Amino acid sequence: MNKVILLDKRPVGKPTLDDFKFIEEENPVAAEGQVLLKTLFVSVDPYLRGRMSSGKSYVPPFKLNEPIQSGLIAEVMESRNPDFKVGDYVSARLDWKEFQVSDGKDLIKVDGNAASLSAYLGILGMTGLTAFLGLTEIGKPKTGETLVVSGAAGAVGSVVGQIGKILGCKVVGIAGSEEKMTILTSKFGFDATVNYKTSTDLKTDIKNAAHDGVDIYFDNVGGVVSDAVLVNINQFARVPVCGAISLYNDTELAQGPRIQPILVKNSVLMQGFIVSNYAAKFPQAIKQLTTWLNEGKLTYTETIVNGFDHIPQAFIDLFEGKNEGKMIVKI
C-alpha cells in the first residue's frame, strides 16, 4: 500500500501533528503518457504554513483532506512517457506520497552526478534562487557595504550571507543559537553574528555588530528582530523582504513600531518579493550558483530527517529553529 499525508485540520497558531492525517491507498499505476515516481527527498518549507490557512495568498490554500504538496525529488520507476526513462531523477512540486504518477508536464530532470540530489531542493533549487535573486535584484549589494541577514543559519539566509561576502560586503547574521553563531562565522564566512534569543538589547547588539549601520537588510523573519535592525538602517539602504517566519503562526495581526518615518528619513527602499517573480532569470541564476559551488566559493548545509512518517514533524521543527541550512526529509 502507498502512504499519503493529508491536511486534516487548518492549524491554529503553531502547527501540531494533529493537523495532519496519514492514510494508505492502492499503489498507483502509470497509464499511457504517465510516469510512476518514487519519492526520494521532500522539502519542508516555512511558506507551507501559509498554504495551510484558508486566507488568500500568492498560492491557493491546501484543501482539507487532500495531500499536502511541496518540492520533491523523485525517481522514475516506470515510464509510459517518451520524455522520461526508468532511473531518471526529477524535481517538482508534488504530493506527500511515497509513490505517485505524473504526466511529466511539470517535472524537471535533475542530474544526480552534477550535484547531490537533495541540493536541487536547496542551494540549486528554490531557496538558493530566493537568496541569489532577492539579494541581487532588490538588495543590489556594492563592495564595502554592510549586509544584515535574519534567519541567517537557515536555507535562504546562509546562502544570502555567502553571496554577500562574494560580492564584497561585510555580513552580519542574526540567528537563534550559539551553535548557529559558530557555523555562520566558521563555515559560511560571516563577519559577525547576533543571537536574537539571548540578546538583552537587540538594537545595540546589531548596532555594534554592524559598526557603520546597515546598508542592506535581507529580512527572513520580520517581527521584533526586524524592528531592531530597521532602527540601525543607513541612508539609501535596501530591504528585500523575503519572509516573516516569526509572524506566520500569529492568530492576530501583530502591532509593531511605525516604520514609515525611518524609511522616509533615510530614503530606504523596502520591497517584498516572491522568488517566482524572477522566473525568467532562474537559468542564469542556477548557472551562477553552480559556478560558485564548483569554485568552492559557496557551500551549504542540510538537516536531513529520515523517514516518510517524519515529514510533518520536520515541518513543525522549522518553527523551533531545529534546522541548520535546508531542512529535508529523506524517504
Ligand X SMILES: NC(=O)c1ccc[n+]([C@@H]2O[C@H](COP(=O)([O-])OP(=O)(O)OC[C@H]3O[C@@H](n4cnc5c(N)ncnc54)[C@H](OP(=O)(O)O)[C@@H]3O)[C@@H](O)[C@H]2O)c1
Residues that bind ligand X (CB under 6 A): 45-47, 126-127, 130, 151, 153-157, 175-177, 180, 220-221, 225, 242-246, 273-275, 318-319, 321, 323, 327
Least distance in angstroms from the C-beta of 194 to ligand X: 10
Give the separation between CA 89 and CA 327, rounded to whole angstroms: 20
* Strand order across the 146-150 sheet: 192-195, 170-175, 146-150, 214-218, 233-241, 269-272
Q: Which is nearer to ligand X, 164 or 243 (CB)?
A: 243
Least distance in angstroms from the C-beta of 44 to ligand X: 9
Least distance in angstroms from the C-beta of 284 to ligand X: 17
Q: Which is nearer to ligand X, 35 or 244 (CB)?
A: 244
Q: Which three cell numbers stand for residue 36?
A: 510512476
Least distance in angstroms from the C-beta of 247 to ligand X: 8
DSSP string, 148-206: EEESTTBHHHHHHHHHHHHTT-EEEEEES-HHHHHHHHHTT--SEEEETTT-S-HHHHH
Least distance in angstroms from the C-beta of 1 to ligand X: 32
Q: Which is nearer to ligand X, 35 or 202 (CB)?
A: 202
Neighbours of 202 (CB within 10 A): 19
Q: Which residues contact 277 (CB under 8 A, 6 or more apart)?
A: none
Q: Which is nearer to ligand X, 273 or 282 (CB)?
A: 273
Q: Is 320 exposed, middle or buried (0-12, 13-18, 19+ CB in 10 A)?
A: exposed
Neighbours of 172 (CB within 10 A): 29
Give the separation between CA 281 and CA 87, rounded to whole angstroms: 29
Q: Which amino acid would we find at residue 269?
A: L
Q: Which residue is nearest to ligand X (CB)?
A: 154
Q: Which is nearer to ligand X, 130 or 232 (CB)?
A: 130
Place of cell 536574537: 196
Least distance in angstroms from the C-beta of 197 to ligand X: 7
Q: Which is nearer to ligand X, 102 or 303 (CB)?
A: 303
Q: Which amino acid would we find at residue 200?
A: T
Least distance in angstroms from the C-beta of 248 to ligand X: 7
Q: Which is nearer to ligand X, 104 or 222 (CB)?
A: 222
Least distance in angstroms from the C-beta of 156 to ligand X: 3
Least distance in angstroms from the C-beta of 316 to ligand X: 11
Q: Which three cell numbers stand for residue 204?
A: 545595540
Neighbours of 22 (CB within 10 A): 15
DSSP string, 208-245: HHHSS-EEEEEBSS-HHHHHHHHTTEEEEEEEEE---G
Q: Which amino acid would we find at residue 6?
A: L
